[in-house]
Amino acid sequence: MSELSQIVKAYDVRGTVPQQWDERAAEALGAAFAQLLNGSAERRDTVVVAYDMRQTSPGLAAAFAAGVRAEGVGVIDVGLGSTDLLYYASGILDLPGAMFTASHNPARYNGIKMCYPGARPIGQDTGLAEIRDRAQALLDKGEPHPAGEPVAPIERRDLLADYAAHLRNLVDLRGIRPLKVVVDAGNGMGGHTVPSVLGDAVLPALPLTIVPLYFELDGSFPNHEANPLDPANLVDLQHAVREHGADLGLAFDGDADRCFVVDERGEPVSPSAITALVAVRELAKHPGSTVIHNLITSSAVPEIVREHGGEPVCTRVGHSFIKAEMARTGAVFGGEHSAHYYFRDFWFADTGMLAAMHLLAALGGQDRPLSELASAYERYVASGEINSTVADQAAKIAEVRAAYPEATADELDGLTLRFADGAWLNLRPSNTEPLLRLNVEAPSRERMISLRDDVLGLVRR
């Protein structure tokens, strides 16, 4: 019997298959999702479903669809897709949706990201807890759903070309200078979407030469994990960029909603720099708009937003917080340190593909290398996120606060300390593990290393 409390997380469903959940649980979750919709203002007569390349995804998605249909709600099955393709479908069709993916997790995992019409996220506080409880009740009765066989219709529809055309309409790449781009799809869904959006699979060719790495869809991830946040998974991309003399490299995670960048030297470009670059482009189109960033993006981001007439707004770490602020403020754009990028023109949802297209437009609109272009947006030196196992998180945070009485403190998310010389640190507890997560940024490498090591000494003592 599946214990859904183990796999229903704050923002999605995620667990090992079949150990933690299976098609029976997926069917119950589908029925519960339809029940939630039927009893709410979000009621629709159809749900759109997509899935990634993992071996278990088609079966789980089909079982979920059966549960939805048994409750009298129809299904549009768009088949293989990236998470942002599912968001596109939810937005353009104004339908609730479900994406079957475990993102960057290893092959044995799978999951579901659910949304209301218009790609509005469903989290614990906005319906996911109710879906969990309804589904668990169905499983406890020994029935995945109470209504028997599916009674509502299912329609299969291919939206890949429409998705590609929509993105190309948002960022016109036809007039850029020719660029050579290495793309590492990590055997994930980028191998499905990149040929259609950036290549000539369904639309006329752009001035781009795409050098593909691991475009074969394979949920066993035979080459490396589809998690570009781990530097080890960028090594092949970095080598290929240098080998082919490419202008840049792009790496997508498993469900292709996040995009990481390396420059022509194979050096990583920070997501904060990409956030600032895209923000400048969006502010040029929408002067005076709000731009959202989380509290561990570089200080360069709010500085650059203000310099270009925008209004920066800081949020806690986590996509539910940034999406909520996007909707509340009507922000034109939002970016996170984890390479999630959110666009008002994309239903406030995240799409790494659109961020990559903005970067290609900026680079292709001038005659200088990416390393030079990016340097204008990289003003500080960052430590990256460092985890420490700590038994008493609150006590350690208090100890660090007491050690720096000269710093200005805020507690929006854990503890952030800001120093007069522009350095800052954030120390925040994990929601699920006995960990403290440290991020440090400073005007110089020496200052960053000194502050980082001092804080780690306190935390790990």
Q: Which residues is 208 bridged to in the sheet?
A: 179
Q: Please state, as a whole number, how many other Cβ atoms lie within 10 Å of the Cβ of residue 113.
A: 24
DSSP of 42-111: T--SEEEEEE-S-TTHHHHHHHHHHHHHHTT-EEEEEEE--HHHHHHHHHHHT--EEEE--TTS-TTEEE
The Cα–Cα gap between 24 and 7 comes to 14
The Cα–Cα gap between 300 and 335 comes to 13
Name the residue type at position 457: G
The Cα–Cα gap between 294 and 56 comes to 34
Rg (CA), the chain: 22
SS3 140: helix
- 103 included as an active-site residue: yes
Q: Are 78 and 125 in contact (CB under 8 A)?
A: no
Angle at which helices 160-170 and 352-364 cross, to 10°:
40
Catalytic residue among 103, 270, 299, 383: 103
Q: Which two tokens stand for residue 36?
A: 């939630």
Backbone angles phi, psi at 165, to 5 degrees: -65, -40
What SS3 string covers 234-289?
Answer: HHHHHHHHHHHCCCEEEEECCCCCCEEEECCCCCEECHHHHHHHHHHHHHHHCCCC
Residues with catalytic function: 103
